[in-house]
């Protein structure tokens, strides 16, 4: 079995939370969101985060889609403004698996945005792309990320992994959806 990559990256969901491909005009929103301390602490983004980092991240979206090595979605609100990011990465095609990572801009938190984004990607990943399993690696102390994952239907695998993040080895619990 292979994954079924559509020709173009889809738009998922709709009002009030949609997922779409990145646009060059999203750069300011990404730059601003990535200044947040919580995001800097838990998400895999460069520190300090520059405009060049935001431009690179946005440009990467088209590249990974073309190569079938990832799916980078902007999370947007009813006005099509960026309020977060959710990324499918580290695909293992033979196992039909990938990892999911996400962040929500500080001003948009607490409104079930991450929960909806995980639900939408999991549904599309299973039903359309043909994934068997989407993996979420969450640090024990990241209460918000864990709550969002569980609310979206993720289950603990019982496995953990140590990985270096910004110069510190951290322990991640592995969840699946
Ligand atoms: C983690 C993060 C994405 C959550 O985004 P969010 O949109 O605020 O989360 P949601 O509103 O979808 O929350 C989903 C559920 O988790 C709960 N929740 C959210 N934050 C919580 C917190 N700090 N403590 C306890 N529960 C929390 C919500 O109440 C909600 O539960 P419900 O649906 O039963 O009401 C956001 O805090 C963030 O971007 N953090 C920094 C980056 C990060 O940690 N990324 C994840 C790396 S694995």
Domains defined for the chain, CATH in brackets: 12-135 (3.40.630.30)
- Centre of ligand 1 to C-alpha 83, Å, is 13
d(CA 81, CA 111): 15
Chain segment 84-137, per-residue pLDDT in tens: 999 999 999 999 999 999 999 999 999 999 999 999 999 999 999 999 999 999
- Centre of ligand 1 to C-alpha 142, Å, is 9
Residue with tokens 């033979």: 94
Check if the beta carbon of residue 31 is closer than 8 Å to that of residue 49.
yes
Which segments within the chain are labelled E, that is strand?
A: 12-14, 17-20, 71-76, 82-92, 97-104, 133-139, 155-165, 168-176
Q: Whose CA is nearest to atom 10 of ligand 1?
A: 112
- Within 6 Å (CB) of ligand 1, which residues are found? 38-39, 42-43, 101-104, 109-115, 138, 142-145, 147-148, 151
Is the Cα dihedral 25, 101, 42, 154 positive or negative?
positive
Chain segment 23-50, per-residue pLDDT in tens: 999 999 999 999 999 999 999 999 999 9
Q: What are phi and psi of 21, to 5 degrees?
A: -70, 160
Q: What is the pLDDT of residue 22?
A: 98
Whether the per-residue pLDDT at 1 is higher than 80: the answer is: no
């Amino acid at each position: 079995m292979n994954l079924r990559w559509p020709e173009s990256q889809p738009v998922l969901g709709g009002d009030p939370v949609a997922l779409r491909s990145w646009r060059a005009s999203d750069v300011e929103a990404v730059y601003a969101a990535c200044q947040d301390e919580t995001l800097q602490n838990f998400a895999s983004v460069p520190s300090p985060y520059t405009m060049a980092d935001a431009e690179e991240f946005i440009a990467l979206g088209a590249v990974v889609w073309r190569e079938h090595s990832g799916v980078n979605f902007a999370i947007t609100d009813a006005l099509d403004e960026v309020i977060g990011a959710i990324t499918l990465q580290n695909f293992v095609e033979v196992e039909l698996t990938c990892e999911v990572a996400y962040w929500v801009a500080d001003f948009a938190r607490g409104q079930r945005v991450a929960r909806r984004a995980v639900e939408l990607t999991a549904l599309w990943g299973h039903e359309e792309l043909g994934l068997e399993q989407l993996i979420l690696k969450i640090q024990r102390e990241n209460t918000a990320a864990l709550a969002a994952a569980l609310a979206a239907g993720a289950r603990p695998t019982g496995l953990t992994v140590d990985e270096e993040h910004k110069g510190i080895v951290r322990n991640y619990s592995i969840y699946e959806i």
